Structures are given as C-alpha cells and as structure tokens.
C-alpha cells in the first residue's frame, strides 16, 4: 500500500470492508493512492456543495461512490454489470431462509 491511511474506527462493518477492498485494489496495482485521494477529494467537495455532510455515513457513501466510479472507468466492474450483480445478490438474499448461506444462481 502506498500512502493509504489507517482509520481509527468504523461505525458499520461495511465501512471496514469497503476500506479493506479499496486498499487491496491499491496494493494490487489497480490504481495509485495519489489518484485515489484526488478523486475522493473531488467527490467529497461535490457532495459537500450538494448538501451538508453528516460525518461517517456520508464519508463512506462518498468513498463507495468514488470506488464504484474507479471500477467502472477501469472496466473492472462496469456500472451495468455491478447493478446486475447487486440485483442478483438482493434477490438471492431475499429468497434465502434465515441462517442459510446466500448463493447466487448461475
């Protein structure tokens, strides 16, 4: 990892997972940390002008928005493909009995 910060806490498990995924993608060479911070800063500035930010929840929503944009731009996870996968996971989750593993159907 080249210059990635180490946050002191996360309010929700998904925030830690999102952070870890971003760091792993950086470490795998999919993007540099300087380009990440520039794009993330731009997202924060834009979102801050649209409405007041509430801290952690807005921060990680902006983080997710930036990562999704990176993955779309690089072709690793185009938005249409990501939307299809998200919908498939939601359908699988809703159809899975409590306590059972969620599985995507091929």
Q: What is the pLDDT of residue 50?
A: 73
**Contact between 53 and 61 (Cβ < 8 Å):** no
For residue 48, the model assigns a pLDDT of 80
Per-domain boundaries in the chain: 13-95
Q: Which position has the token pair 């159907």?
A: 105
Contact between 67 and 21 under an 8 Å Cβ cutoff? The reply is: yes
Let me know the angle formed at the C-alpha of 69 by 34 and 11, rounded to the nearest 5 degrees.
80
Q: Give the model's pLDDT for residue 7.
A: 57
Q: Which residues of the chain have pLDDT under 50?
A: 1-2
């Amino acid at each position: 990892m080249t210059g990635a910060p180490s946050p002191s806490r996360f309010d929700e498990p998904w925030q830690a997972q999102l952070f870890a995924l971003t760091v792993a993608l950086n470490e795998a060479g999919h993007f540099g940390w300087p380009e990440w911070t520039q794009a993330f800063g731009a997202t924060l500035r834009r979102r801050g002008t649209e409405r007041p930010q509430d801290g952690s929840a807005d921060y990680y929503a902006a983080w997710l928005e930036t990562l999704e944009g990176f993955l779309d731009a690089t072709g690793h996870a185009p938005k249409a493909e990501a939307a299809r996968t998200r919908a498939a996971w939601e359908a699988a989750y809703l159809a899975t009995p409590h306590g059972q593993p969620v599985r995507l159907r091929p």
